[in-house]
Chain A
């Protein structure tokens, strides 16, 4: 049986910076809340085709679909992995900030 469709956004990594980006209405955006949401398979297919252009234009790397839920129309990933990726940082303080954290 085919998997039931889940609301989706398209994620990738920025080619130069390597940071996580999402396909927005006009461009690749860093804030997932600005990502374009596909509400059905046809929309997902259209977004996938647009996302692939970003890869071909060497703007982003490694496009894939991310399952999201919507709160007031704003997408947020369903899985822990994608939530961490969308938060664009580690879940804990690191580096010099962590040193202060440990010392405190």
Chain B
């Protein structure tokens, strides 16, 4: 994992001291709310429906046991004993008091964490593959690129006040587990015909009220050109991006309005003009960063483990969990584990302080003290030996963290919605809970197979509904919640945006609506191997629409 150098530590500490002073001045009245608001947002502090909310950065989702324990301590000491892991691989605390926030930030700084640039119109946390450095199908660890971008984009004077927020994702694997095409800039680490490693650069993706998938800006960018090219791409956006209309301010609108060819022409012209050497990350600095992401020193293990095999045979719950929630590891005798934060009827992405400590302890004992937060609001233990898997499973089960549902119908992404969020127009969490309870039976979940349901409580789409196989958007209809359904969205390498089925449904109707869609899929699928998405792509919207709107005969 990346460790702060002296500069990083000094910078974060100075920022906390500065914010402490700003909070003090706000509380004594020498700063008005209008003056204070941009300052608190720069430090990740929102004001929500019932309370302040502090969003803490977890760069590219990688976190140590020590840091996870600190999050647990913060949850207990200054919040209500839990936190919420987000789709940007961060964590949010929902109930901090304004006067306590500087102390929370000091506590975070003591374990090399902060909340800087988790809000505001700047470059946000760069997200990545939760199996980075582990997945057998990856070219190299994408987190090195993420960290280079993090250092370049932190307090970048030119890009601290963009027209709107800016999100970057990096993936280096064949399978896209980072929803790259839904980002303002998406980077795929690829190999060209000559065998050189570089970037395929996408631009102009995003969700929100005008969802768009990113377009290809450059088929191959040499690695050394990363920062100069990003700088050129951001500069063109910063110069032309709409500041007059918040809803048209994201780069996707600019790329759409200019056209990808014209945007590319301007970026390439700027790229040709600028002093690339002055902007590029020095090779020795990239090497220094890369060294932090060297694979952990895992003991050599045999490919099989007799005790593991025995447990698979004797404990069917374990076998089901292994089949659904573990992934191949590039090291022999190891697996990566997805810990589901979606127990039946639970709040997607929430973990109590006790659960955070269990995760920290298990990671310390069985995963080189490392954890990952996924954009699907789960946790990954990246390096678990086969011989330790059963112990990990039992440990998770004891904390209610053993749901064997990764990628299944109950593995639902949901934004905080109207239960917390000041912008929300409808509730998301109770809808997710009701669907989860409806499909609680693990055999039924397995029968249905891969199916992603994503729920947003307003048009801003924080719950990624546009790329859910089934997307649910909660809106306000004359003061009452109403839910629109979209079908066929997908966040992988073959990303697609969902299409709306038709008129919306009442809050109470949603679980039944999902059930009708799932039943129709089970009737339509050509075989058990054809997933919901494949069936939808084969048969189209009409049969599903009929299932929802045609009166029963």
Which residues of B are found within 8 Å of A58, using beta-carbon distances? 26-29
* A-side contacts of B353, CB under 8 Å: 96
User: Chain A residues with Cβ under 8 A from B268's Cβ?
Assistant: none
Min distance, Cβ B112 to any Cβ of chain A, angstroms: 26
Known A-B contacts A55-B33, A62-B33, A89-B50; the reply to A78 vs B479 at CB < 8 A is yes
Q: Which of A78-99 contact B (CB under 8 A)?
A: 78-81, 84-85, 88-92, 94-96, 98-99
A80-B51 contact given A58-B27, A91-B427, A102-B343, CB 8 Å threshold: no
Interface residue A101 (Cβ < 8 Å from any Cβ of B): yes
User: What CA separation (Å) do A58 and B33 show in the bound complex?
Assistant: 8
B33–A88 touching, CB < 8 Å: no
Which residues of B in the span 246-288 have a Cβ within 8 Å of any Cβ on A? none
Interface membership of B354, Cβ < 8 A:
yes
6 more A-B residue pairs beyond the given contacts A18-B47, A90-B420, A95-B82, with a C-beta to C-beta distance below 8 A: A58-B26, A58-B27, A79-B480, A81-B424, A92-B433, A98-B347
Set of chain B residues within 8 Å of A88, measured between Cβ atoms: 50
With CB as the reference atom, state the residue of chain B lying closest to A92. B430
Q: Is B49 part of the binding interface, using a Cβ–Cβ cutoff of 8 Å?
A: yes
A17 B51 Cβ-Cβ under 8 A: yes
Shortest Cβ-Cβ A-B pairs, 5 listed: A79-B479, A95-B82, A18-B52, A90-B419, A18-B51
Q: Which residues of B contact A57 (CB under 8 A)?
A: 29
Binary CB contact string for chain B from 418 to 432 against chain A (1 if under 8 A, 0 otherwise) = 111000111101100
Q: How far is the CB of B92 from chain A (nearest CB, A)?
A: 12
Q: Which residues of A contact B (CB under 8 A)?
A: 13, 15-20, 55, 57-58, 61-62, 78-81, 84-85, 88-92, 94-96, 98-99, 101-103
Q: A92-B433, A95-B81 are in contact. Are A103 and B400 (CB under 8 A)?
A: yes
Interface residues of B in 345-383 (CB under 8 A from A): 345-347, 350, 352-355
A57 to B504: give the CA distance in the assembly, Å.
44
Cross-chain contact B480 with A80 (CB below 8 angstroms): yes
Whether A18 lies near B479 (C-beta < 8 A) is no
- Measured between beta carbons, the chain B residues less than 8 angstroms from A89 are 50
Q: Which B410-461 residues have a C-beta within 8 angstroms of A?
A: 418-420, 424-427, 429-430, 433
Question: How close is A55's CB to chain B, nearest CB, in angstroms?
Answer: 7
A73, B344: Cα distance in complex, Å = 42
A42–chain B nearest beta-carbon distance, Å: 25
Q: Judge whether B352 and A96 touch: CB under 8 Å.
A: yes
Which A residues are in CB contact (< 8 Å) with B424? 81
The smallest C-beta distance from A17 to any residue of chain B, in angstroms, reads 6
The complex places the Cα of A6 from the Cα of B47 at a distance, in Å, of 27
- Chain B residue nearest to A103 (CB atoms) is B400
B window 65-119: CB within 8 A of A: 80-82, 94, 96-99
Known: A80-B479, A102-B345. A95 touches B350 (CB 8 A): yes
B481 at the interface (CB under 8 A from A): yes
**Chain A CB within 8 A of B501 CB:** no
Distance in Å from the Cβ of B169 to the closest Cβ of chain A?
A: 29
Cα distance, A19 to B81, chains bound together (Å)? 18
Minimum distance in angstroms from B38 CB to a CB of chain A = 14
Closest to A101 in B: B345
Residue of A nearest to B82 (CB): A95
Are B418 and A19 closer than 8 Å at their CB atoms? no
Q: Tell me which of A19, A62, A94 has the highest count of chain B C-beta atoms within 10 A of its own C-beta.
A: A94
Residue from A19, A81, A85 in contact with B425 in the complex, judged by beta carbons closer than 8 Å: A81
Known: A84-B418, A102-B346. Contact between A17 and B98, CB under 8 A?
yes
Q: Is the CB of B332 closer than 8 A to any CB of chain A? A: no
A38 to B: closest C-beta gap in Å: 19
Q: Are B350 and A94 in contact (CB under 8 A)?
A: yes
By a CB distance below 8 angstroms, the chain A residues around B81 are 95-96
**CB within 8 Å of A: which of B468-484?**
476, 479-481
In whole angstroms, how far apart are the Cα atoms of A58 and B34 in the complex?
12
In the assembled complex, which residues on chain B have CB atoms less than 8 Å from the CB atom of A78?
479
In the complex, whether B324 has a CB less than 8 A from a CB of chain A is no
The answer to whether B22 has its CB under 8 Å from any CB of chain A is no
**Bound Cα distance A55, B479 (Å):** 27
**Alpha-carbon distance between A16 and B36 when the two chains are bound, in angstroms:** 13
Contact check, B50 vs A95: say whether CB atoms are below 8 A apart: no
Known: A78-B479, A80-B480, A96-B352. A91 touches B419 (CB 8 A): yes
CA distance A98 to B345 in the complex (A): 9
CB-based contact B98/A18 at 8 Å: yes
Is B48 at the interface (CB under 8 A from chain A)?
yes
Could you list some 17 contacts between A and B, CB below 8 A? Answer: A18-B48, A18-B98, A80-B426, A80-B427, A80-B476, A81-B49, A81-B425, A81-B479, A85-B49, A89-B50, A91-B418, A91-B427, A95-B82, A96-B81, A98-B346, A98-B350, A102-B344
A18 vs B418: C-alpha distance when bound (angstroms)? 16
Q: Are B50's CB and A85's CB within 8 A?
A: yes
